Amino acid sequence: MQREVPTAAARSLIDDDTFDQLGAALLWRVGRTIDDGPVTVRVGFATAAALFAELPRLRSATDAEIEEAVTDGTVRVEWVGPRAR
């Protein structure tokens, strides 16, 4: 995962300072909704923290499972809360 972030950031056309500011404003959870389900990343603005608590709890996923899901392209991404305009 650490190797993927700089590459993704470079492709995004977002400068490092903006990327850092955005990261500081986000809340995320990574795991699985069920033991054999896909690795899921829930992400949203920190102001949506209460909405995270209303969703089914994610079970933890190991680093190896997360890396495999990223490599396979099977990571599921869910946005939590309202989107920025």
Report pLDDT digits (tens) over 30-85: 999 988 889 999 999 999 999 999 999 999 999 999 999 989 999 999 999 987 66
| 56 burial via Cβ count (<10 Å: 0-12, 13-18, 19+) | exposed
pLDDT of residue 14: 72
Give the domains, in start order, of the chain with CATH numbers.
Answer: 26-79 (3.10.20.570)
The answer, yes or no, to whether residue 3 has pLDDT greater than 60, is yes
Rounded to whole angstroms, the Cα distance separating 23 from 85 reads 17
Contact call for residues 49 and 27 (beta carbons, < 8 A): yes
Report pLDDT digits (tens) over 9-35: 667 667 778 777 877 888 989 999 988
pLDDT of residue 69: 93
